[in-house]
Structure 1
Amino acid sequence: MPVDPVALTADLVRCPSVTPTEGGALVLLEHLLGDAGFDCTRVDRGGVPNLFARWGRQGANRSFGFNGHTDVVPVGNEDDWSVLPFGAEIKDGYLYGRGSTDMKSGVAAFAAAAIDFVIDTPPDGAVILAITGDEEGDALHGTTALLDWMARNGEAMAVCLVGEPTCPDVMGEAMKIGRRGSVTLWLTMRGVQGHAAYPHRANNPIPAMARLVDRLSSHELDKGTAHFDPSTLAVVTFDTGNTATNVIPASCRATVNVRFNEAHSSQSVVDWIGAEAGKIAEEYDVDLDIKVKVSGESFLTPPGDLSDLVAAAVKAETGVTPVLSTSGGTSDARFVKDHCPVVEFGLVGKTMHQVDERVAVDQIIQLKAIYKRILTDYFS
């Protein structure tokens, strides 16, 4: 009997798997996939739950992989919800609940498609599901742990599809063939505290930081590339923590986040900001401290066999030809791209992370059909 992806989505939503809590979601999937003949292994690391499942021969030349996550962001103020956040209530054609869009419906759709496919038409190859419980968190021990374990144990995906939501408004309108990189820098400038009435006895770090923030914000990083929009820099904080009106503060802090295309690397961005900050710190005679976090490098899977395969299946099931996009934030595809060619396709993500997050029931059914067609076409 075919696996119902809507019922499976509802079962997963009822699992309160707020990062990094497993919440029962991976246990549910392990039982379901194991009963269907998949070899399942829990690859937990650093307190993070992960699940690897393979149907077919280990090391098969043709192996199609799916990647996704069952962890979700916090619900926020539960009183703002019109339904129970983990109730999986269906009304007016929508299934409500935290994670319904991002991305338990995607996991349910590819799990259901994979089970039905290997039962209906057992392929000459392998179908692999790599599912993490740590995508919404630090992502240090999620998909990276799965890929590390696969490398140690002779497991490999020839290609991979990440089931994140990719469509802005209409089902089928976009797929991701790459992502921008992301780097965050915490900048601190330290001067000398003093009385506001005697500024010559102090060294105010605020003008120095203001000059730096203006210089960074005014700079055009690039004009975009063939597959990417222009890189962006956003100043997300600027503060001193000073509440007194008659005190020049000793330090000033700012945080900037840069989303960059393949014209840059995280190191080139850090080097540029560091050089600009260093020049201003020297000019204003303030001390400078910089802390850096790289969330991911920019990457691109060039249009070709994999994107053509996915696009054809999407067109066949929806009548829509997806645009090849690199927009949005980071995803776990940034880790998978070092293992094998990877693209992303999923449903409409308009309500992800919002109060009353919800997914159209017919989209879940459609998504399973797309994923099953992809598997059929890949192994045919």
Structure 2
Amino acid sequence: MAKVRTRFAPSPTGFLHIGSLRTALYAFALSKHDMGDFILRIEDTDQKREVEGSVEALQKALKKFGLVWDELYIQSERLPLYKKAAEKLVKDGHAYFCQCDSKDLRNPCRDKDYTSGAVRLKVPDEQTVSYRDFVHKKEISWNTDTVYDATLLKSDGFPTYHLAAMVDDLDMKISHILRGHDWLPSTPIHLLIFDYLEGKRPEIGHLTDILSGETGKKLSKRRDSVFVEQFLEQGYLPEAVLNFVMLLGWASKDNRELFTLEEFVEHFDIDGFQEANPRFFYDKLDWFNGSYIRQKSDDELFELLTSFIPKGADQKVVNQVIPLIKDRIKKLSDFGPLAGFFFEKPEVDKKLLGKNYKEHLTKALEAIEKDILLDP
């Protein structure tokens, strides 16, 4: 049996998306369950979209969640490999040079004999391309008459995703590809490239979309918190976020919910993938986080709360307060609302008390003192 090799292939365009964390987690578990290899591949061929510092941020985030890779590749360092593959496709009649920007399904340049320009895939007519999706557990097919001649190599010599990712998957001997559902329409293009490059097709699985629990719509960068760094800044523990993400599209046979990463890898099974789109409920994430917080000792929780404790707070008081709120705290940032009054005098809006608030308070104190004196 061939060794299981999976990859997580992010583009360095910003912070780590919660959906990308799920892809990385499932790819990691799939490979490690069978003692295989987990590959990190930085897909940086679209230089215009690259955000400075993103590569380092992505690596730091993955390590924080325990998703350590066995091999690392940077696509921009592998350009000759993609050029060679494009030349082979042209030579074998499966691609052609293009010197126009036509959006037609069948580019007019495919019938010309250009020897320079961008390289496009020469999609055959009236053929069926199909594969079995191991997430959705069904055969999916396309008629090539609906598949366009995709650009493989741009005129500047940089490959598009269609070429670079498929060449790398073959060269790195990737056995299983896990990726987002939005890549499904491009799959026939990728299957043709695998076949034309005479390589063994990897197994392919497309993960379901993560929906907002409130709106039922796909998670949006504009509407929702979607980056893992945002959750960590709000006081969610990495192990809680990871456990929550485990169940966004996968379920164990016994419906168990709490897993460490090691336990998840041990129990992972591709039959556990769900076909229905999972919904992201903050209440559920809070439940996971609260569960992990209560597993911490008071000393461990003190260390985790460091950045959420008011400056200048008495450490002894903090240590006394932690046991009082431990059963109620859902995320670390709750410390202020739950215990802040122990350290900072709350501001009172005197307008709410009225003009004669001093008189009212004096009478209230006198009444309390009178009750105390009369109490036998």
Tell me the TM-score range normalised by the shorter chain. under 0.3
Relative contact order (C-alpha < 8 Å, sep 6+): which is higher?
1
The TM-score normalised by the length of structure 2 is 0.25
The structure with more strand, counted as a fraction of residues: 1
The structure with more helix, counted as a fraction of residues: 2
The TM-score normalised by the length of structure 1 is 0.25
